[in-house]
């Protein structure tokens, strides 16, 4: 870590001139809100937060950070548990102003800028009975969830988010804007689909759209006994691919829909999503009657 006296400094007047109205710095109104992440536990103070509106602006930020020897953090939705979407004293490249979405309904594809949230993308595509599988939270940025692989409510039916990734627009460390797919820069395209980080700043993705006109889902809460955990895993393995589940073994918080006796108890909290025909089917998962209007909750034993 450089000595404070030799640490790189940020030329704020230059930044404000280059990015008119797109720079938030310490002392500005809204700075404390702009530097916050979705998850708590990070109290870093960036030297500047820049919100470019196009790939050329992203390239200028990358080049200026490199030329000034400044740490650069890239933020899509700010959901990094490890705090990668912020920095202490460096520059945060905030993509939240880049939210363009172009749906090609006939071709079954979508071009989406990476400041877009999974919820906004899903709402727009869902209006046409289409979807791309992302994570489990609507406010997550599609930049982070895609480059992280993307495990969500449609994962068993549609695969990871990167399984639906067809192409990308990427700003490299030297400021170039590249169009990347299986034929153009194939090694970089391979790396974006699960190779980790620091290959560049993804500014736009092309995804495959899948027909998903309805889902059935809800939350299942059960006591976390060994029998319940083993049974849930067996049931999930036997379930059809249309049923995806995200399960956690955790201490039950005082949520209002939980019985008070369950608060503080160890539970299995599972969020289930069925993206198939909701009518009763044959086989081990057949059930009679309509789907329940309320999913069961756990009870103390």
pTM: 0.85
Decide if pLDDT at 293 tops 80: no
Contacts of 159 (CB under 8 A, 6+ apart): 133
CATH 3.30.465.10 fits 101-211, yes or no: yes
Q: What integer pLDDT is reported at residue 6 of this predicted model?
A: 55
The CB-based long-range contact list for 146-151 (8 Å cut-off, 24+ gap) reads: 146/114, 146/202, 146/205, 147/192, 147/197, 147/202, 149/194, 151/246
Residue 113, number of CB atoms within 10 A of its CB: 23
Q: What's the token pair of residue 158? A: 């549609």
What pLDDT digit, counting tens, does each position of 80-117 carry? 888 889 999 999 999 999 999 999 999 999 999 999 99
Tokens 């470019």 sit on residue: 52
251: confidence class by pLDDT, cuts 50, 70, 90: very high
Q: Could you tell me whether strands 266-274 and 201-208 are parallel, antiparallel, or unpaired per DSSP bridges?
A: unpaired
Contacts of 195 (CB under 8 A, 6+ apart): none
Q: What's the token pair of residue 131? A: 């979807």
Decide if pLDDT at 125 tops 60: yes
**CA angle, 117 then 99 then 204, to 5°:** 90
Higher pLDDT, 169 or 284: 169
What pLDDT digit, counting tens, does each position of 162-206 carry? 999 999 999 999 999 999 999 999 999 999 998 877 899 999 999
Q: Could you tell me whether strands 177-181 and 130-131 are parallel, antiparallel, or unpaired per DSSP bridges?
A: unpaired
Sequence ranges of the domains in the chain: 4-94, 101-211, 214-301
Higher pLDDT, 125 or 40: 125
Q: What integer pLDDT is reported at residue 255 of this predicted model?
A: 86
> Are 59 and 122 a contacting pair, CB within 8 Å?
no
Range among 160-169, 236-245, 247-256 rated most confident: 160-169
Higher pLDDT, 10 or 121: 121
**Is there a shared CATH topology between the 4-94 domain and the 101-211 domain?**
no
- 10 Å CB burial of residue 20 (0-12, 13-18, 19+) is exposed
Q: What integer pLDDT is reported at residue 289 of this predicted model?
A: 36
What's the CATH architecture for 4-94?
2-Layer Sandwich (3.30)
CA nearest to 224, candidates 136, 296, 300:
300
Of 184-188, 246-250, 296-300, the one with minimum mean pLDDT is: 296-300
Decide if pLDDT at 288 tops 80: no
Q: What's the token pair of residue 263? A: 């608060």
160: confidence class by pLDDT, cuts 50, 70, 90: very high
**CA angle, 191 then 197 then 203, to 5°:** 80
Decide if pLDDT at 296 tops 80: no
What pLDDT digit, counting tens, does each position of 16-26 carry? 998 988 999 99
- Tell me what the pLDDT averaged over the chain comes to: 88
């Amino acid at each position: 870590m450089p000595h404070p006296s030799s640490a790189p400094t940020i030329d704020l007047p230059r930044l404000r001139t280059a990015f008119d109205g797109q720079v938030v710095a310490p002392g500005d109104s809204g700075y404390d809100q702009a530097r916050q992440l979705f998850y708590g536990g990070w109290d870093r103070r960036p030297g500047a937060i820049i919100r470019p509106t196009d790939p050329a602006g992203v390239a200028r930020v990358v080049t200026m950070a490199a030329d000034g020897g400044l740490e650069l953090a890239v933020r899509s939705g700010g959901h990094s548990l490890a705090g990668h979407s912020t920095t202490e004293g460096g520059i945060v490249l905030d993509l939240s102003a880049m939210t363009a979405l172009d749906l090609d309904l006939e071709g079954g594809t979508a071009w989406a800028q990476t400041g877009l949230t999974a919820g906004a993308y899903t709402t727009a595509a869902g209006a046409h009975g289409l979807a791309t599988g992302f994570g489990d939270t609507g406010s997550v940025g599609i930049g982070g969830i895609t480059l992280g692989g993307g495990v969500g409510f449609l994962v068993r039916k549609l695969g990871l988010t990167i399984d639906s990734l067809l192409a990308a627009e990427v700003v490299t460390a030297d400021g170039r804007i590249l169009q990347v797919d299986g034929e153009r820069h194939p090694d970089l395209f391979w790396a974006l689909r699960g190779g980790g980080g620091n290959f560049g700043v993804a500014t736009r993705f092309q995804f495959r759209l899948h027909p998903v006109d309805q889902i059935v889902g809800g939350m299942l809460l059960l006591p976390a006994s060994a029998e319940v955990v083993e049974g849930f895993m067996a049931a999930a393995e036997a379930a059809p691919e249309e049923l995806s589940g995200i399960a956690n073994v955790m201490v039950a918080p005082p949520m209002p829909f939980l019985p008070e006796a369950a608060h503080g108890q160890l539970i299995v909290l599972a969020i289930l999503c069925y993206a198939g025909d909701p009518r009763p089917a044959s086989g081990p998962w057949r059930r009679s009657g309509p789907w329940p209007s309320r999913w069961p909750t756990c009870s103390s034993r």
